[in-house]
Chains A and B, each alone.
Chain A
Amino acid sequence: MAFLEIDNVCKSFGPVDVLKNISLDVEEGGFLVLVGPSGCGKSTLLNTIAGLEGLTTGEIRIDGDVIDDLPPAERNIAMVFQSYALYPNMNVGQNIAFGLEMRGMPKAERDAKVQEVAKTLQIEALLERRPGQLSGGQRQRVAMGRALVRNPKLFLFDEPLSNLDAKLRVDMRTEIKRMHQTFGTTIVYVTHDQIEAMTLGTKIAVLKGGIVQQYGTPAEIYNNPSNLFVADFMGSPAMNLIPVEIDGSWVRLTRDGDDPLVLDFDQLPASVGNMSGKQVIMGIRPEAITDSQGGAATRASSHRTVTAKCRIDVVEPAGADIFAITALGGKEVVTRLHQDWVGQAGQNHDLVFNLDKVVFFDAQSGERLR
């Protein structure tokens, strides 16, 4: 039995269905990330777990107990909000202690708990300050302190990093991960940033239109996307999605002003082989197309690679890698080359395709062909 179970949850606002039969579960100490574009229902799902919104049908259980009908305060859940929602009229210490005070904990005990939490989060020096006098990072720490001090069964994070600047965001991401590792807390985390999702989660649920598109570990989501939406949404730069023709075990990619590129897969799954003459989308991540130097490593680790000359249209050095753009199947295809690669745009170069990492989708339904 999982620790947090979300069982067939539906939520409608009037005629609008925001959540449709959502079923997810998280182990104790797990880190579930809900990710999706805005309006996908991820925040609504978080609010129903918190009890800030009721659910239309379905059930939510923590540790085997149904919590649907409990008010938010009795669910033993703490939440960190996007704006941190620190009470502006109280100082940091009072902010952290407020939840304990509402639960009727005596002052001496409260103070001891606040000190303890402030020490672990290194905000002891800030206890007398008002939220308005704190920096973004300090505010986030106070918000986490307010959640930690109650020692809840479950933590909810609602896009806590989206108000921070880029550098601080990376630091705070690490901090959240460290907190998760140190305290072994169970966390449900909402974000629209797929990098946050990949780096933080032990499990990721990709949502769109109130439906779970895919639920799995970060590696599963990244390597085996279950449909075109997930393939496109997760990963940066995004997965190349190229229209192809299937011919036996050959996959043909058209090229402007050149012969088509043919990738010989030796063997394709039956579901793909059957698609001869139908529209199929091939998905391949940028790092699965590389230059001959990077290709050496690829060849060593994978079953099947194909090397082909392709015209490089644009070269974008990014420091650690070089992204080179070529055109296949009428699409711009991003490839990820070794940082020492030397070459010019507008010329043909050898590219190594790692066929182990290729996935296929039905162009009509967008579903994965396995």
Chain B
Amino acid sequence: MSSYASQKSAIGAGKLVRAALYAVLILFAVYYLLPLFVMLVNSVKTLDEIRGGNMMSLPEHFTFEPWLTAWSTAQIGVEPTGLRPFFVNSLFLVVPAVVISATLGALNGYVLTKWRFPGDKIIFGLMLFACFIPFQIVLIPMARILGLIGLAGTTSGLVLVHVVYGLGFTTLFFRNYYAAFPDELIKAAKMDGAGFIRTFTRILLPSSGPIIVVTVIWQFTNIWNDFLFGASFADFDSMPMTVALNNLVSSSTGVKEYNVHFAGAILAALPTLVVYIVSGRYFVRGLMAGAVKG
């Protein structure tokens, strides 16, 4: 009887702990979601309503106007172009930069683990070192090199910068993932007559799903969100979204259109948000897959 009672009280205590746990989790979720909520509600209000105060209230007059303005007519440079051309700039920047850096990182990882050569560990160490170099340090030498090779102020130049900077990370990801990939499979492929490229494309790459997702998310968010390189190396025609958003928000003429700014900021964050939602669960799984062998 007493054991039944103690069991019952243990269950009761368990429920209490669980409730407390959920309370804390919900609190933190609200904490993190609040800024997004503020941005969302204010991006669909009229400017008058925002000026009236109370940032937290739901809109009285629902309007999509700020979104359309931010997208296609907001004054960013001389012309009222909206964020659209810069969004396109960012896409033309981020897609090739992600594809190239991920491809090279995968090839590096493949060579560093499966086609070992004398000194490969030193090379890998140096590439790892690249992950710790702060952005600011490379600004001036990079500007000089871009000038020398005639890519200053172009999207291609910016792609190059991001590929070079991202290579250390992508190599690290793929190397660690492939280090856990059984060597016997590579040997078997050699015996079967597959060469360097076909072993990679037919055996290794089809098993690399999780780490490709991790690398793409990492590179996509980093490059899409980058402001410093974009502000330093792009000219007006190749300016990425982040820089354009800054110009929109910090323009000193006219009225501050907060609703347009909020809409623009959400637009700028949308692609990374989509990438996370679509492939987020692979992200965690991929990080784990590289960490534990077998």
Task: Give the interface of A toward B (CB within 8 A).
Answer: 50, 52, 71-73, 77-79, 81-83, 85, 87-89, 98-99, 102-103, 146
Task: Select the stretch in B145-153, B180-188, B262-270, B274-282 that faces chain A.
Answer: B180-188
The residues of B that contact A72 with a CB separation of less than 8 Å are 190-191
CB distance from B213 to the nearest CB of A (A): 16
Are A89 and B206 in contact (CB-based, < 8 A)?
A: yes
Nearest CB in chain B to that of A158: its residue: B184
CB distance from A203 to the nearest CB of B (A): 23
Which single member of A79, A82, A89 contacts B203 (CB below 8 Å)?
A89
The residues of A that contact B192 with a CB separation of less than 8 Å are 73, 98-99, 102, 146
The residues of A that contact B185 with a CB separation of less than 8 Å are 85, 87-88
Complexed CA–CA distance, A81 and B183 (Å) = 11
Q: Sort A-B residue pairs by CB-CB distance and give the 6 closest, nearest first.
A: A73-B193, A102-B193, A89-B206, A99-B192, A85-B188, A85-B184
Complexed CA–CA distance, A85 and B207 (Å) = 14
Enumerate B87-138 residues with CB–CB distance to A below 8 Å: none
Complexed CA–CA distance, A278 and B202 (Å) = 65
Complexed CA–CA distance, A62 and B160 (Å) = 52
Are B191 and A82 in contact (CB-based, < 8 A)?
A: no
Complexed CA–CA distance, A72 and B202 (Å) = 18
Enumerate B188-227 residues with CB–CB distance to A below 8 Å: 188-194, 198, 202-203, 206-207
A-B contact pairs, 17 of them (CB 8 A): A52-B190, A71-B190, A73-B190, A73-B191, A79-B188, A81-B184, A81-B188, A82-B184, A83-B182, A87-B188, A88-B185, A88-B207, A98-B192, A99-B191, A99-B192, A102-B193, A103-B193
Which single member of B187, B194, B206 contacts A85 (CB below 8 Å)?
B187
The residues of B that contact A50 with a CB separation of less than 8 Å are 187, 191
The residues of A that contact B194 with a CB separation of less than 8 Å are 73, 98, 102
Additional A-B contact list (15), CB under 8 Å, known A78-B191, A79-B187, A99-B193 = A52-B190, A71-B190, A72-B190, A72-B191, A73-B191, A73-B194, A77-B191, A83-B182, A83-B184, A85-B187, A87-B185, A87-B189, A89-B206, A98-B189, A99-B192
Complexed CA–CA distance, A326 and B207 (Å) = 58
The residues of B that contact A81 with a CB separation of less than 8 Å are 184, 187-188
The residues of B that contact A88 with a CB separation of less than 8 Å are 185, 207
The residues of A that contact B206 with a CB separation of less than 8 Å are 89
Query: Secondary structure of the B side of the interface?
Result: helix
| Known A85-B182, A89-B203; contact A52-B187, beta-carbon cutoff 8 A | yes
CB distance from A99 to the nearest CB of B (A): 4
CB distance from A147 to the nearest CB of B (A): 9
The residues of B that contact A73 with a CB separation of less than 8 Å are 190-194
CB distance from A82 to the nearest CB of B (A): 7
The residues of A that contact B202 with a CB separation of less than 8 Å are 87, 98
CB distance from B199 to the nearest CB of A (A): 10
CB distance from A158 to the nearest CB of B (A): 8
The residues of B that contact A79 with a CB separation of less than 8 Å are 187-188, 191
Complexed CA–CA distance, A99 and B203 (Å) = 12
CB distance from A62 to the nearest CB of B (A): 15
The residues of B that contact A71 with a CB separation of less than 8 Å are 190
The residues of A that contact B188 with a CB separation of less than 8 Å are 79, 81, 85, 87, 146
The residues of B that contact A89 with a CB separation of less than 8 Å are 203, 206-207
The residues of A that contact B189 with a CB separation of less than 8 Å are 87, 98
Complexed CA–CA distance, A336 and B235 (Å) = 91
Nearest CB in chain A to that of B194: its residue: A102
Complexed CA–CA distance, A87 and B188 (Å) = 9
The residues of A that contact B187 with a CB separation of less than 8 Å are 50, 52, 79, 81, 85
Nearest CB in chain B to that of A150: its residue: B192
Enumerate B158-196 residues with CB–CB distance to A below 8 Å: 182, 184-185, 187-194
Are A87 and B203 in contact (CB-based, < 8 A)?
A: yes
Nearest CB in chain A to that of B198: its residue: A102
Complexed CA–CA distance, A73 and B206 (Å) = 22
CB distance from A79 to the nearest CB of B (A): 5
CB distance from A179 to the nearest CB of B (A): 18
Nearest CB in chain A to that of B185: its residue: A85
Nearest CB in chain A to that of B186: its residue: A85
Complexed CA–CA distance, A78 and B189 (Å) = 11
The residues of B that contact A99 with a CB separation of less than 8 Å are 191-193
Complexed CA–CA distance, A146 and B184 (Å) = 14
Complexed CA–CA distance, A103 and B192 (Å) = 8
The residues of A that contact B184 with a CB separation of less than 8 Å are 81-83, 85
CB distance from B183 to the nearest CB of A (A): 9
Complexed CA–CA distance, A89 and B191 (Å) = 18
CB distance from A143 to the nearest CB of B (A): 9
Complexed CA–CA distance, A52 and B182 (Å) = 15
Complexed CA–CA distance, A174 and B194 (Å) = 32
Complexed CA–CA distance, A72 and B186 (Å) = 12
CB distance from A25 to the nearest CB of B (A): 22
CB distance from A332 to the nearest CB of B (A): 40
Nearest CB in chain B to that of A89: its residue: B206
The residues of B that contact A98 with a CB separation of less than 8 Å are 189, 192, 194, 202
- Counting chain A CB atoms within 10 Å of each CB, the highest count among B187, B193, B194, B202 belongs to B193
CB distance from A139 to the nearest CB of B (A): 13
Complexed CA–CA distance, A50 and B192 (Å) = 11
The residues of B that contact A146 with a CB separation of less than 8 Å are 188, 192
Complexed CA–CA distance, A102 and B189 (Å) = 9
Nearest CB in chain A to that of B187: its residue: A52
The residues of A that contact B198 with a CB separation of less than 8 Å are 102
- Counting chain A CB atoms within 10 Å of each CB, the highest count among B182, B191, B194 belongs to B191
Complexed CA–CA distance, A249 and B185 (Å) = 59
The residues of A that contact B191 with a CB separation of less than 8 Å are 50, 52, 72-73, 77-79, 99
The residues of A that contact B182 with a CB separation of less than 8 Å are 83, 85
The residues of B that contact A87 with a CB separation of less than 8 Å are 185, 188-189, 202-203
Nearest CB in chain A to that of B206: its residue: A89
- Counting chain B CB atoms within 10 Å of each CB, the highest count among A52, A77, A146 belongs to A52
